[in-house]
């Protein structure tokens, strides 16, 4: 089984319900939830509509390939009502494949680790909560260090623990 870190986000109400539904659907997709970060409220970054996001990171284990993981998480997004009418549109559920063990992968469809990971405080904060010593396979720095070096200064505020889920 391979460890996979997934970033979860929603800025369409009911935001927390969308995150929780997506989390539940992971279990139906050969993605076994191991650890959850807290849920954080963050400003909408790169979005034309300013509705704040709820964000979190989930560690799962799987035997799926990177492409299969991407297929599964995109299916979950669609099942949760995700539409892509224009770039950076509001999202009922956005799931990003952040890292998959120490795999470096570059195809037209998927790049691992996520290329904007070091620039996004809303991802680094919850990732550092559950995996501060995890090393970025290209930058050779821990997530905790990347967080301290992150140029993004948007506020990331604790919102809650994930409701009604035990790992």
The CA distance from 19 to 95, in Å, is: 9
Catalytic residue selected from 82, 120, 121, 145: 82
What pLDDT score does 165 carry?
57
Percent over 90 (pLDDT), the chain = 77
Catalytic residue selected from 15, 30, 72, 96: 96
Say if residue 86's pLDDT is above 60: no
Say if residue 156's pLDDT is above 80: yes
CA angle (50 as vertex; 44, 53 as ends), nearest 5: 40
Say if residue 71's pLDDT is above 60: yes
Annotated catalytic residue 17: no
Domains annotated for the chain, with CATH where assigned, are: 2-160 (3.30.70.560)
What pLDDT score does 41 carry?
96
The CA distance from 119 to 54, in Å, is: 18
Annotated catalytic residue 109: no
Annotated catalytic residue 96: yes
The whole-model pTM stands at: 0.93
Task: Write phi, then psi, for 92 (nearest 5 degrees).
Answer: -65, -45
Catalytic residue selected from 72, 94, 121, 152: 94
Catalytic residue selected from 72, 91, 121, 145: 91
Percent over 70 (pLDDT), the chain = 92
Annotated catalytic residue 79: no
Which of 4-13, 38-47, 140-149 is predicted least confidently?
38-47
Cβ-in-10-Å burial (0-12, 13-18, 19+) of 21 comes to middle
Averaged pLDDT score across all residues of the chain: 91
Rounded mean pLDDT of 75-100? Answer: 83
Say if residue 10's pLDDT is above 90: yes
What pLDDT score does 84 carry?
65
Say if residue 6's pLDDT is above 90: yes
Rounded mean pLDDT of 149-158? Answer: 94
Which of 1-15, 76-90, 104-118 is predicted least confidently?
76-90
């Amino acid at each position: 089984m391979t460890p996979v870190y997934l970033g979860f986000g929603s800025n369409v109400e009911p935001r927390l319900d969308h995150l929780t539904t997506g989390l539940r659907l992971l279990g139906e997709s050969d993605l076994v939830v191991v650890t959850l970060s807290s849920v954080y409220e963050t400003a909408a970054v790169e979005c034309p509509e300013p509705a704040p996001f709820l964000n979190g990171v989930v560690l799962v284990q799987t035997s799926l390939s990177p492409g299969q993981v991407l297929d599964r998480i995109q299916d979950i997004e669609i099942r949760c009502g995700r539409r892509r009418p224009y770039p950076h549109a509001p999202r009922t559920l956005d799931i990003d494949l952040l890292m998959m063990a120490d795999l470096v992968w570059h195809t037209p469809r998927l790049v691992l680790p996520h290329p904007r990971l070091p620039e996004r405080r809303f991802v680094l904060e919850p990732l550092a909560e559950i995996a501060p010593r995890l090393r970025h396979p290209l930058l050779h720095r821990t997530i905790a260090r990347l967080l301290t070096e992150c140029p993004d200064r948007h506020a990331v505020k604790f919102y809650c623990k994930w409701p009604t889920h035990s790992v």
